[in-house]
Structure 1
Amino acid sequence: MLSADPHRAAPLYAEAVTTPLRAVLDEPRPSAPPVRVWRDWALVTVVAVCVVLESVARPDMPFPAFSVVLTVGLALLLPWRRTHPLAVVAAVFGVLAVVDVALIAAGAPALDIASMLWFMVLPYSLYRWGSGREALVGTAVILVPAALSLYVGWGGLTEAVGGIAVLIAACALGLAVRSRHGAQERRLDTVKAEERVRLARELHDTVAHHVSGIVIQAQAGRAVATTSPERATEVLAVIEEAASRTLTELRSMVGVLRAADDACLSPQAGVADLPQLAGRSSGGPEVDVGLSGQLDGLTPAVDAALYRLAQESVTNARRHARHATRVTVRVVGEAERVRLTVVDDGVPGPAAGHAEGFGLVGMRERATLLGGTFRAGPGPDGGWLVEAVLPQDGGTR
């Protein structure tokens, strides 16, 4: 039940009123409006032609020459209605207010220019392109000459209601278009953010794997440099090859980003490329890769994800598993899902060691986005175990 204490209720009522108002006042302008020069000047031309034809077709129009000059002069401001909506509204409706006041003072008949209905595009532009403060101030500016026009040239309740309805419709249309475009921009920003995360994940997976191997090779080369120069030379050759592969993959990623065709947005390494991880790197554990089961129906996203998950897991094992001699990679395809397990026989480092950087975070995100599961931790028989289970269709069904 609401409190009956007015001293306690007053702040709540004040907040309920001021919060929406503050939100409206703080609403910024939309992004930069488009430049449509020919459309704007076409609108100005149409207004000018209409008012001239109206002055010729209507002998009863009061002050025909003045009406034509006034309407055409104000129409020249229409091209700036997007970039300066409040200024244009203030100028147009301010001039109309001054004219109405002058007519009232002189006892002259009111201006009756049907062509001025074109200026209802200004309330639309105000709510479409103006900030919250501009919309509120502009609405007040519009209402003053509107009220004066009704006073000077009262044509009955029907005409007054019709004019107000047109004004409200113009404002509502501008607000609706603004909201729709704002929602589209927010969706686009979300897509861009997701794409940045995806690219960061791809870059991390690609570079971390090869650079970690280069570091291990360099450490091994330094260890044997004094005792076995020939072996050190072989290690340098391996480092050169790994660096070349890294450069090739980076160039491939850059090429994908620059490509005009969006059909391929990610590197194409997949399950079929996992055997390339097998073998022993100098100073590192041996990697054994095994593939079995139904692996032909994988979607491209799942195929690439399995490779990246396995690659990152092998990289982590080489970097963090102490005294590891073997890393086992297994991919098993089942009826509706595929299971990846990567386990080493070393002594697991601290959890923080395996979670260093964005490796495990990116792996978990990659699996989750495809509707799968991911876990990493000490294995039941020792070592470090990584397991990911993904739907074969990438969660699209």
Structure 2
Amino acid sequence: MLRNVLQALWGEPRPDRPPVRVWRDWALLGVLLAWSVLEALFREGLSGSEASLPSAFSIPLVWRPVAVVVTVAVLLTLLWRRTHPFATVVAAFGILTAFDVVRILATIENGLLWSIAGVLVLPYSLFRWGSGREAGTGLGVILAWLVVTHIADPTEAGEVVAGFGFFLFSAALGASIRFHANARARDIEQAKLRQRHQLARELHDVVGHYVSAIAIQAQAGRAMVGSEPARAATALKTIEETASHALKEMRVMVGVLREGGEPDLAPQAGVGDIARLARQTDGRPMVAVQLPDDVDQLRPAVGAALYRIAQESVTNAIRHARNATRITVDVVIEGEEVRLLVRDDGEPAAQGPFGYGLVGIAERARLLGGSFRAGPAAGGGWMVDVVLPARA
């Protein structure tokens, strides 16, 4: 398991779109460069009074310009720590390693300014913005520099370990920030995905229902245009009304999605609007709706869900029921629950995989804490049975 975790970390890609350089980067660089200049001017040992400090803290006078140039060169790499984190680590610690090799050859015990501590931000940036391979390799580069530094300035092995610990802490902080940023990005993406699913469900229910009704009426009108022109005209009128309803509901949905637009305060379709389904199908199959007298007691969210479920169920029956003559829609309030039963009297149907419409019905029921069943009905046809909490 540990091997799998390490492989996953090693294969971690770089985060997308690292932030561009901001004023804080210049401010940090300015502070560190000012520190370097002040240290070069006033630090004992750099000004020639090497004897006033222990050798571990004093820098011979001859090394002063070299130390300043090396420090400035290393600190300048901080400007690219987000966009090129691995290259920055290699450049900064490569310069420091080369400098220490020269010190070893020249037998100089100490040669760095304390402002070089600014490189502690590099492991943070490496683990925050680099890939897994870059992070692991970069740590190896830092460790190699610490070993060379230990050779140049012999100290206890524990001090080398402690120094590496500071860099590990910086790296861990960067990894932690990266983890939380990735988790937040995943949460945002999941929220967007849920919104897309909800929008797709609404579009499917609204557009599918009205387009099916329009198609049926168009077929009926075409069949009757020669023999029964009056009924054909009625079918055309029904098509016009259905299209108007579809456009109205689409405008409501677009108004909700439009950023900065004024909200549409038109009331949302509810359980009482299920009765309209009985009037939107002229001819066969006939749709019969039965509602209780106390439907106004239901919460708006429950009523809206019942309407959409009934709408989708009737649409499916009109589309797919074979030789159906009647579709019934019954809503019954039973204590703390409300039940919706939609069934047709078509030929017996086999249970098959659910289409998108039935999946949407199941999602609506689940979101409100209800239950959903769909399948062949006893005695033939198909049924959809949904139970929701009446006070959800």
Which TM class, normalised by the smaller chain length? 0.7 to 0.9
Counterparts of 1:118 and 1:262, CA distance in 2 = 51
Q: CA deviation at 1:95?
A: 0.5
**Which amino acid in structure 2 is aligned with residue 184 of structure 1?**
R
Can you give the 5+ residue segments of structure 2 that lack an aligned partner in the other structure? Answer: 47-58
| CA shift for structure 1 position 158 | 5.9
Deviation by residue 1:349-385 (Cα, 9 ceiling, x = unmatched):
4545xx6741222212322233211112233354432
8 A contact 2:71–2:112 mirrored in 1: no
Structure-2 residue corresponding to 1:12: none
For residues 262 and 180 of structure 1, the distance between their equivalents in structure 2, rounded to whole angstroms, comes to 35
Match of 2:357 in 1: 359
List aligned pairs for 1:219-298, cutoff 5 A: 219-260=219-260, 268-279=268-279, 281-292=281-292, 295-296=295-296, 298=298
SS in structure 2 of the partner of residue 278 of structure 1:
helix
Tell me the CA shift for residue 391 of structure 1.
2.1
Partner of 2:50: none
Counterpart residue identity of residue 357, structure 2: G
Report the secondary structure of 1:99's partner residue: helix
Q: Does 1:132 align with 2:132?
A: yes
TM-score by length of 1: 0.85
Report if the CA contact (8 A) 1:205-1:359 is conserved: yes
**Aligned CA distance change for structure 1 residues 279 and 147 (closer, same or farther; 3 Å):** same
Aligned residue for 2:88? 88
Question: 1:38 — aligned with what?
Answer: 23
Code of the residue aligned with 2:42 in structure 1: it is A
Any idea what SS the aligned residue of 2:226 has?
A: coil
The offset of 1:275, in angstroms, is: 2.3
- TM-superposed CA distance for 1:193, in Å, is 2.2
Q: Against the structure 1 CA distance between its residues 17 and 350, is the aligned structure 2 distance closer, same or farther, given a 3 Å change threshold?
A: closer
CA contact (8 A) 2:255 2:261 kept: no
The code of the aligned residue for 2:388 comes to: L
Q: What is the identity, as a one-letter code, of the residue corresponding to 2:375? A: G
Query: Is the CA contact (8 Å cut-off) linking 2:256 and 2:263 kept in structure 1?
Result: no
SS at match of 2:242: helix
1:47 matches 2:45: no
1:204 aligned onto 2:225: no
Q: Distance in 2 between matches of 1:83 and 1:241?
A: 58
Pairing partner for 2:385 from 387, 390, 393: 387
Please, what TM-score do these two structures have when normalized by structure 2?
0.86
The residue that corresponds to 2:372 in the other structure is 374
Q: CA offset at residue 60 of structure 1?
A: 1.6
Secondary structure class of the residue paired with 1:77 = helix
Q: How many residues align?
A: 375
Q: CA 1:87–1:75 in 2, change beyond 3 Å: closer, same or farther?
A: same
Q: CA deviation at 1:65?
A: 3.2
Rate the CA distance shift 1:362–1:82 in 2: closer, same or farther, 3 A.
Answer: same
Q: Is the 8 A contact 2:285 2:318 kept in 1?
A: yes
After TM superposition, give the deviation of residue 66 of structure 1 in Å: 3.0
CA distance in 2, matches of 1:262, 1:193: 25
Task: Evaluate the alpha carbon distance shift between residue 50 and residue 273 of structure 1 in structure 2; reply closer, same or farther with a 3 A threshold.
Answer: farther
Q: Is the 8 Å Cα contact of residues 337 and 391 (structure 1) preserved in structure 2?
A: yes
Q: Aligned equivalents of 1:356 and 1:367: distance in 2?
A: 15
Alpha-carbon contact 1:376-1:385 (below 8 Å) kept: yes
1:393: Cα distance to partner? 4.8
Q: 1:187 to 1:294 in 2, by over 3 A?
A: farther
| Alpha-carbon distance in structure 1 between the residues aligned to 2:4 and 2:141 | 24
| AA partner of residue 231 (structure 2) | R
Percentage of pairs with the same residue: 50
**Post-superposition offset of 1:185:** 1.9
1:268-293 deviations in whole A, cap 9, x for unaligned?
32223222222252233333333337
Q: Alignment partner of 2:329: what SS? A: strand
Once the 2 structures are TM-superposed, how far is the Cα of residue 324 of structure 1 from its aligned partner?
3.5
Shift of 1:333: 3.1
Contact 1:216 1:284 (C-alpha < 8 Å) held by counterparts = no
**Which amino acid in the other structure matches residue 177 of structure 1?**
I
CA separation in 2, counterparts of 1:129 and 1:152? 31
Residue 129 of structure 1 deviates from its aligned partner by 1.0
Offset of residue 344 of structure 1: 2.7
User: Could you tell me which of 4, 10, 14 is aligned with 1:29?
Assistant: 14
Q: CA deviation at 1:258?
A: 1.9
In the alignment, is the contact (CA less than 8 A) between 1:290 and 1:330 conserved in 2?
A: yes
CA 1:59 to 1:121, structure 2 compared with 1: closer, same or farther past 3 Å? same
* Cα RMSD (Å): 2.6
Residue identity opposite 2:33 in structure 1: A
